[in-house]
Amino acid sequence: MKRRKFIKITLASGSTFLIPSCSNFAQRMISSNNWTYLSDVSLSPRDFGARLVENLFIPKSKKKYGKGRNARKYSNLAEIFPKGMYDLSELNANSLIMTDENYYTRTEKPNLLNLDNLTHIKISGLIDNPGKMPIKSIVSASTSQGVTMMECAGNDKFAGFRLMSAANWDGVSIEEFLQTNLLGFTNLKSPTHVLISGFDKSSESGYNFLGVQSTAGASWIFDIKDLIKQNAFLATKMNGKPLSPDRGFPCRLVVPGWYGCASIKWVNEMHFFNAHELTKTTAQMKEFSDRTHQTGVPELLTDYKNPVIDFAATPAKIEKWQKPNGTIIYRIMGLMWGGDIKNPDLRINISKENESIVSSDIVQSKTRSNILSWQHWWYWWEPKDNGRFQISLNLENSKELSRRIDRNYYQVSVKI
């Protein structure tokens, strides 16, 4: 039987047809009635030191730890995948979202912030009549902004790559916000940039387990054209509910496609101005220089590159299955995000003790229907022996920027 006819008959039969890779694996015919889901298998950081930190310092529950600017709560990436669900083609970006309970936290509500007093945003700079805008005006004008994912720039192996989440947001786009008749504030005088600041006074700044303390001051300078290009918005709701205190209630900035450090929470001031060659960066921009791929610590705005999230991918969950003949097979599921590519040539690599077990095998995935959020991928794997394996992804045949996965930044391990 010719291959095309074979595939056509296979698909018509209702079975799931899998071509796992360009490796020596044979094409597989799989029926959801024939295989048995057994259990989930834990993923862990790739090296012993990171696993030790995770076991000693990071709580297994969804509770926060740390205080103030160094408060953290890690999301559970595996929870967005239905347990034992067979047909992953039914999932899409709009269904891969998280509850407030599971959404990551990087900096909790400042203990000196009285939310009852945060009722206005100070509007200053190149504007006819500087003053204060009621946040309730933004709330009343809010509409759906769709599903967007956010990643902390410090989303590293010590965090288990769990400082990222996705949600469905409501708010007012920056483009709409600048239409002066909409919210009733006075005319801008054609500024090029805006400094957006948030409340950041806390007596509980604290240190993390590495002895590092976050810098005080939450503000970022944006080219207004960049905010519009990124579909940035002032958010007031997440998943249909008002923002919780740790999410930035009553109003926060969300800049899709940029690291979370630029998405200012508890917004209380917007200063419009024209930047020039001597305009300096803010303390927050300097603090996150190394984590946003800057060259050194830029003092000047002209030397600061936008904190864009490159195309990235990581495993998020592994399931253990059993075939009718007793053979054990594993389904590796993961997420891809960032960049602009809709149909990436994403490959998986698996190694053990520095020996390659799987090299650049193609993973299965769907077209990224929403590049502002993440999309899932999956791969079936039959290990030949036991032990600890390292899993990473790479992007083939693309000019897409992918600096982190190019150096196996998101590599994880699993013990079989």
Say if residue 49 is exposed, middle or buried (CB neighbours under 10 Å; 0-12, 13-18, 19+).
Answer: exposed
Residue 336 forms beta bridges with which residues?
Answer: 313, 375
Length of the chain: 416
Angle at 119 between CA 202 and CA 134, to 5 degrees: 140
Both tokens of 11, joined, read 């698909």
Domains of the chain: 16-45+313-416 (2.60.40), 105-303 (3.90.420.10)
Kind of pairing between the strands at 105-106 and 120-125: unpaired
Tell me how far apart the alpha carbons of residues 416 and 414 are, in angstroms, rounded to a whole number.
6
Q: How far is CA 392 from CA 17, 126, 362, in A?
A: 24, 48, 12
Do 42 and 414 contact (CB within 8 A), yes or no? Answer: yes
H helix intervals, 42-169: 48-57, 135-140
Do 108 and 246 contact (CB within 8 A), yes or no? Answer: yes
Residues of the chain with pLDDT under 50: 1-31
Q: Provide the 10 A C-beta neighbour count for residue 243.
A: 21
Q: What's the predicted TM-score (pTM) here?
A: 0.89
Which residue type sits at 295? T
Do 377 and 151 contact (CB within 8 A), yes or no? Answer: no
Average pLDDT value over all residues in the chain? 88
Tell me how far apart the alpha carbons of residues 255 and 253 are, in angstroms, rounded to a whole number.
7
Looking at residue 55, what is its pLDDT? 63
Place of tokens 């529950």: 61
Place of tokens 């990581």: 314
**Which strand (E) or helix (H) includes residue 12?**
helix 3-12
**Beta strands in 188-338, from DSSP E residues, in sequence order:** 193-198, 218-223, 233-238, 241-242, 252-254, 267-273, 312-322, 328-337
Looking at residue 157, what is its pLDDT? 87
Contacts of 90 (CB under 8 A, 6+ apart): none
Do 99 and 168 contact (CB within 8 A), yes or no? Answer: no
Tell me how far apart the alpha carbons of residues 269 and 286 are, in angstroms, rounded to a whole number.
20
Kind of pairing between the strands at 388-396 and 72-73: unpaired
Residue 29 forms beta bridges with which residues?
Answer: 17
**Beta strands in 274-327, from DSSP E residues, in sequence order:** 312-322
Percent of residues, the chain, with pLDDT higher than 90? 71
